[in-house]
Structure 1
C-alpha cells in the first residue's frame, strides 16, 4: 500500500505539477491527498487527468488560501464519508476482497487561535473500532524547533526574454559570471565597433559551451535530488529539514528553468494554448523554427532559386516595384468620370 500526502502550495506553479507527476510515477500511490491547492475544482480535474488518476474530490479554496483534494486510483473502492474545508474522510476498500479502512486527509487551521477547533474536529472523525484509520495531512503544528523556518524564495520573480538569449539562464548565478568574464576578456581598442562585435561573439561562444555542459548534468542532478529526498523521507527522524528544503529548492529551480525555456520558444502559443511542457508543446516550438526558414523561391520568370542571395534579391525587387509608381499618364478622364463628394459650399 502506498499513499502520498503533499502540501502543494498553489497549483499555479507549473513546475510543481511536474514534480508531483514525477513523484506519483516513482511511488505509484493509490491515494493522493493535496493541501493548500489554492485552486477551484476544475483546476484540480486538470491535475487529476495529468496524473492519470481515476477519481477526484476537491474542496475549493477561499480566495487565494486553503483548498484540499483527494485523488485515487480505480483499483480501490473509495467512498467519501464526510468533508469540511479542513478535512476529507473516505472509506477505502483495497480491491474486491481486500481490507477495508478509513482515510482522513486533514489540514489544521493556519491560525493558532483556531487550532483547538481543528483538534476537536479530528477527535470527532475517529472511526469506531476495530476499523483501521489512517490520518495524514498538514496539521500546522511544529514538533521540532528546527522546523520553524521560512519558505524557499520563488525563483521566478524577475524573468526577462530577449533575442536568442535564453531567459531561463537568468536563474543561474554562473550565467552572470560567464558574461562578465567574457566581456572583460577583450579590451576596448581603437576600432570600437569591431571590439564590441568580438565581445558579443566571445559571450555567445562562452554561453553556448556552458549551456551544453548544463544540459549534460541537469538530468542527473534532478534524479539524484529526488532519490535523496525519498531517502530522507523514509529514514529521517526530524533533523533533516534543512537538507530537504535545499534539495526541494534545487528541483524546483530546475523545473522552472525548463518551463521558462519552452515558454520563450513557443512565444504566443504559450498564452493562447496554456500548455505545460508536453510533447505537443515541444513540437510547437520546434515547428516554429522550421517554418521560419525559406529553402527555395520561384522568381517572376518561373526559375526556382535556392541561394540565399538570390532569394533576397527577389524579395527586394518585389517590394521595390510594389511601392514604386509606374508614372501613369492621361488619367484626368478617369477622375472626371467620378462623382465629387464635395459640395459647392464645401469647396468655397
Structure 2
C-alpha cells in the first residue's frame, strides 16, 4: 500500500488540483488523505473520479476552514470508522497481512486548542486493539530541531505533544527526503521552516510493516509538502530486502565512526525499527563504498602500471609505495568475494557474529 498525505490548503484553486494530479501520476498512491480541502463533498467526489480513485469519504469544511477527505483505489479495501473535523479512522483489510488501522489526522491549528488534539490522539489509541498507524498534519512539533527560524516553539507545547505520543504507546516513523514539511518566507529574513506532518505507529503495526518508508516530497505549489508512506509486506520483502554485513567494511577505518554517529542520530525508536533503519544505512554505505572502491582499484592499477615503466630513483620509490596500496585494495576485494562465495568464513570471521558485535557495541554507547 502506498499512502499519501497532504495539507492542500484548498482544492478550489486550479494550481492545487494540478499539483495533486501530478502527485498521483508520479507517486502512484493507492490511498490519499487531504486536509484543509475547503470544498464540498460534491467537488471531492468529482475530483476523486477524475484522478482514477473509486472510493472516497469526506468530512465537510465548516465555514471557511477545515475539510478532510480520503480517497482510495480498488487495490485497497477499507472500512470507515469514526470521524470528526480532525480525523478519519479507517480499517485497512488486506488478504496478505492482518487487518490494521489507519487514522488520518489534522491537529488543531490554534495553540490554545492543542490540548484537544492531544486528548483526541490518546482517545483514539484506546478504542481498538488493531495494529495502528496515525499520520497527517499534526500542527505541532516534538523537538526544538523541528523548527528553524525566528521565535522558538514553546516548550510546553512540545512537552504536551510528546506526552500524548508516549501515553498512546506510539513510535515515530523516521522521515527521509528532508527535515521539514512546511515553510514560509523562503529566502527572506523571515524564513521559517517546520516539521508539522508526521506518522506514528504502534508496536504491533511495526511488526507488520518493519520495512516501511516515510518520505517528504517538495512541490511547486503550497507552503505544505506532502508526505508519503510506502509499506512493504514483511512476508514478501524477505526476497526484496536482504541485508548482508560485509567483512571488508571493517577494513575501512571510518566505518565504525560513521555507523556510531548514525546510530546516535536516530530518534528514540523501539529496537526493531531502529535496527531496520541501521541496516538500511549500512547497506547504502556498503553500496557507495563498493562503487568507490571499484573505481579506486582501477585508478590504482593505472598508477602502478605507469610507474612500472619509469627507471628514475623517485619513480621506483613511488612504485613500491603505490604497489603496497594496490595490494591492500586487492585484500579488500578478496575479502569481499570470499564472503560472496561463502568460503573461508572461519578465516575471515563469521559474518553474523561480527554484525552482532557491531550492534552490541552500538547499544553500549
TM over 0.5: no
Larger CA Rg, structure 1 vs 2: 1
More strand by share: 2
TM-score, with normalisation over the residues of structure 2?
Answer: 0.42
Bigger relative contact order, structure 1 or 2 (CA pairs below 8 A, ≥6 apart)? 2
TM-score, with normalisation over the residues of structure 1?
Answer: 0.43
